[in-house]
Structure 1
Amino acid sequence: MSEERKLYPEDQKRVDEYLKTGYNDVERKPFKPMRMIVMLIVVVTGFSAFSIFLARSSGVY
């Protein structure tokens, strides 16, 4: 549809220099899906137990 826009060489050079500075380069710990699943189970179970406690203490259940 439309032509791909390209930067002028001096602008591209500035962009390349900025990307090489590592300003947004952050070391991250590896993602642990099992830990997330365990935390999700703990939170859902906790909310469920709390809601059952509230229902029983108010005489609904």
Structure 2
Amino acid sequence: MSRGNIAIWFDPATQWYAPSKGKQGRNQIYSDAAIQCCLMIKSLFRLSLRMVTGFVQSLIKLCG
């Protein structure tokens, strides 16, 4: 038994960055799917939003 290991699988087809809409104003950086994923991890592990941001950034960095 491996204690302390977490396996999180991301679908490679998931679009993490939002496509440009061509409208005025600031473009959305992350897609709705990425935001929903972060909010799910936030509620699952009971983390603050700042902690989830760092956690997900490290996961994405590990995935390449």
- Report if TM-score (shorter chain) is over 0.5: no
Higher relative contact order (CA 8 A, sep 6+): 2
